Amino acid sequence: MAILIFAETYNGEFKKDCYELASYAYDLASEKNMSVTAICFNASNPSELSNFGVNKIINSSNEELKDFDATIYSNCISDAFENENSKILILSSSSNSKYIGGILAIKLKAGYITNVISKPSFSNGFSVTRNTFTNKAYEKVNILSENSILGLSKNSFGIKENSTKSEVKDIKFNIKSALNKVTSIEKMTTKVTIADADIVVSGGRGLKGPENWHMVEDLADILGAATACSKPVSDLGWRPHSEHVGQTGKPVSSNLYIAIGISGAIQHLAGVNSSKIKVVINTDPEAPFFKAADYGIVGDAFEVVPKLIEELKNFKSSNN
C-alpha cells in the first residue's frame, strides 16, 4: 500500500515543502512497511523526489494542469489515490493544498487534519498532534474514517535525504471540465513571499517611518529573506497589508524570524509562534517579545541593523 503525497510545483520546479512531505511520508512508510507515491503536475525534473524516499512519481504533463484549479487538481489527486490503493494522503500547508484538502476529504470520505506536527500514532486507532489556537496549544486528534488526509505544518518535520530507486510515470488523467478558469496571473512581487520564505525580516513601529524601511529590505536582501511587518505598520500605510503578520494577518513558519522594533504583543506572537528561531532587536529590555525570543539584542535598530548588514556583507565576501 502506498502513502500518496501531493508535490506542488511552481513553473515546473518543486516547492520546498515537497521535500519535507516526502521525508515525512518516507519515515512513516518505513515504519509501516508501505511505499511512497508522489503526484505532481508538469514537473520539469520529477525524479528529484527520489532523493527524498519517493518510490513512484506520477507526473502528469498537461497544459490544463499548468495553473491551479481546485476541481481539476482534486479530481486528478483522488483518481491517483484510488489507483494507488492509498489510505493516507499527505498535503502541504500551502493555501492551494488547504483549498483542495476539504474537497478531497469529501471525495475520498477521509478525515482531514490540518497543521499536523507529528507522525501518526497507531496505538489507539490513528491519531496525530496538530497545532491549534494560533499555535499556542497542541491538540491530539483521532481519525475515525478508513482514509486519512494530513496537512503537514511547514517546518514541523524537516527535510531528510533518502536516496531511493524510483519509477517516474507520466499519466494522462481524464480531465473533466473545470467550473472556473484562471485567465491571467499578475504577480504582486518578484521577491520571496512570506509563505515560501525560510527567513523573514520583520519591522514594527519602532522603525519610526516608511523612510527607514531600507534597513529591513537590505537585511532581507542579503539573507534572501521575505519582508514582513506588524499590524500598525500596515495600518499606517508604511507597508502593504500583504506583509502584516499575526493573528489577523499572515502566519509565519520560517526557520528564522528577525523582529526589529516590534514589541511582541500577543496578537503578533500568534502569527510567529511556529517559526523555529526568533531573533529580537528592541531598545526596551522589558519588551514582551524577548520572552518568546531565542536570541535577543537590546539596542537601537538604527545602530544594530546597519552593523549586522555590514557584518553579513563581510562574511559573504570572505566566503566567496
Ligand X SMILES: Cc1cc2nc3c(=O)[nH]c(=O)nc-3n(C[C@H](O)[C@H](O)[C@H](O)COP(=O)(O)OP(=O)(O)OC[C@H]3O[C@@H](n4cnc5c(N)ncnc54)[C@H](O)[C@@H]3O)c2cc1C
CB of 269 to ligand X, least distance (A): 9
Q: Which is nearer to ligand X, 53 or 206 (CB)?
A: 206
Among 53, 101, 120, 246, binds ligand X (CB under 6 A): 246
Q: Which is nearer to ligand X, 62 or 273 (CB)?
A: 273
- Of the chain, the end-to-end C-alpha distance in Å amounts to 47
Q: Mask of contacts with ligand X, 261-280, x by CB under 6 A?
A: xxx-x-xx--x---------
Of 35-43, 116-124, 158-166, 260-268, which part binds ligand X (CB under 6 A)? 260-268
**Binding to ligand X in span 206-235, by CB under 6 A:** 206, 230-233
Q: Which of 13, 146, 284, 311 binds ligand X (CB under 6 A)?
A: 284
Q: Is 291 left (phi over 0), alpha (psi -120 to 50) or beta?
A: alpha
CB count in 10 Å sphere of residue 64: 16
The residue among 42 and 247 lying less far from ligand X, judged by its C-beta, is: 247
- Tell me how crowded residue 278 is: count the other CB atoms within 10 A of its CB: 23
Using CB under 6 A, which of 197, 219, 287, 293 touches ligand X? 287
Q: Which is nearer to ligand X, 101 or 271 (CB)?
A: 271
What is the Cα–Cα distance from 16 to 182, expressed in whole angstroms? 24
Segment interacting with ligand X (CB under 6 A) among 19-27, 130-138, 145-153, 283-291? 283-291
Closest CA to 27 of 118, 130, 112: 118
In the shown chain, the binding pattern of residues 146 to 185 toward ligand X, with x for contact by CB under 6 A and - for none, equals: ----------------------------------------
- Residues in contact with ligand X, counted by CB under 6 A, come to a total of 26
Q: Choose which of 248, 306, 313, 315 interacts with ligand X (CB under 6 A).
A: 248
**Does 239 participate in binding ligand X (rule CB under 6 A)?**
no
**What's the farthest any 2 CA atoms get from each other in the chain?**
61
Shortest spacing between CB 241 and ligand X, in angstroms: 11
Which one of the spans 27-35, 149-157, 173-181, 244-252 is the region binding ligand X (CB under 6 A)?
244-252
Residue with cell 525560510: 198
Residue 9: in which H helix or E strand, if any?
strand 9-10
Q: Which stretch binds ligand X (CB under 6 A): 96-104, 115-123, 200-208, 308-316?
A: 200-208
Burial 282-313 (b: 16+ CB within 10 A, else e): beeeebbbbebbeebbeeebeebbeebbeeee
Distance CA 35, CA 282 (A): 49
Using only C-alpha atoms, the chain has a radius of gyration, in whole angstroms, of 21
**What's the chain's length in residues?**
320
Q: How far is the CB of 292 from ligand X (least distance, A)?
A: 13
In angstroms, rounded to a whole number, what is the distance separating the alpha carbons of residues 234 and 243? Answer: 7
**In contact, 42 and 65? CB cutoff 8 Å:** yes
Report the distance separating Cα 273 and Cα 135, nearest Å.
6
Site of interaction with ligand X (CB under 6 A): 204-206, 230-233, 246-249, 261-263, 265, 267-268, 271, 281-284, 287, 300-302
